[in-house]
Structure formats: structure tokens, C-alpha cells
Amino acid sequence: MRLSTKGRYAVMAMADLATHEAGSRPVSLADIAERQEISLSYLEQLFAKLRRNGLVSSVRGPGGGYRLSRPSEEVRVADIIMAVDEPITATRCKPGSAKGCATQGARCITHDLWEELGRQIHVFLSSVSLADVVEKRVLGRAQLDLQSSEVPAQDGDSRAAA
């Protein structure tokens, strides 16, 4: 799961689409571009990918635009991000790669860590639907349950987090 502004733009656009999808009229990219302040040409790229991945369907001609293929409750944020972001080079841990991971044939020391982090991110973003985003319900669905955090609170915690 790759996290870039491209994915964020896509989620913003999809949320806008879900919000303004009233009645039967599709939503034009021009409208989304104006409301979300994203360039039209860039949106076109994003929606081309979203369409190929079956998340939206298009209607051409005047009055045309895009529509969600499924109700917003059934669209996961993870789906959107995976649709627009390239498959990613998987923490550069491919068996063939010379550097980074796969040192001496074995997986590198930190391999498990990044794999687990990727899984955590994926689980979280899969637990949030587009409807959740629109209705500002991003908490509560998935919650990290820290058991026995033995790591003491450190002094240097004034650094910018998140």
C-alpha cells in the first residue's frame, strides 16, 4: 500500500462524488475540480484509473460525468488508493533485488516490521468506507488495542508527530 498525495486526491474526489451524487445525474469532473481545487487534467488521469478498476462508471456528452459503480458504503478507502497508486515495489524486498533486502539470500532484519506495518495500514484503510469519510466517521470502526505498552514515555515527544 503506497501513500501519496495522488491517493489522497483520489479519495477527496471520490468523497466529493459520493456527496454530490444526488438523483440520477452524473457528476462532471469540472465540478469536482472546482470544488476540491484539483486541476481538471489531473482529475482525468485519476478517474481513468478509477474507471479501469471498476470503482466508477462514466457517462459522456452534455450532462455526462461520473457515477459511483457501487454504493458508497461498499467502497473501501483502500480500494481507491490501490486503484490510483502503482502496485509499488513492495518494500524493495524482492527475491531478485541485489540491494536493501534479501541480504545474503535471507530476508533483511526489518522485513517483518514493514510487512506488518503495511498490513496495519491496509486493515485500517479497508475498514473505512467512502460513506464513513463523507459522514466523518473515521474513528471507532477500527481501533488500535495496545496491550502492555512497556515503552516509557520519552522526553523528546515534543517533536512533530503524525
Partner DNA sequence: AGATTTCCCGACTACTTCAGTCAAGAATTC
Partner DNA sequence: GAATTCTTGACTGAAGTAGTCGGGAAATCT
Q: Which H or E run includes 44?
A: helix 40-52
CA angle, 157 as apex, 151 and 159 as ends, to 5°? 140
Q: Specify the stretch interacting with DNA by CB under 7 A; choose among 34-42, 108-116, 132-140, 144-152.
A: 34-42
Which position among 45, 53, 69, 126 is part of the footprint of DNA (CB under 7 A)?
45
Q: Does 105 bind a copy of itself (CB under 8 A)?
A: no
Over the Cα atoms of the chain, what is R_g?
19
- Report what 159 binds from a copy of itself, DNA, none; CB cut-off 5-8 Å by kind: a copy of itself
Which position among 22, 23, 41, 98 is part of the footprint of DNA (CB under 7 A)?
41
Q: Which of 118, 109, 55 is nearest to 91 (CA)?
A: 118
Sites for DNA among residues 3-32 (CB under 7 A): 4-6, 9, 26-30
- Report what 23 binds from DNA, a copy of itself, none; CB cut-off 5-8 Å by kind: none
Q: How far is CA 77 from CA 8, 80, 104, in A?
A: 10, 5, 37
CA distance 112 to 13: 34
Residue 63: CB minimum distance to a copy of itself, A: 25
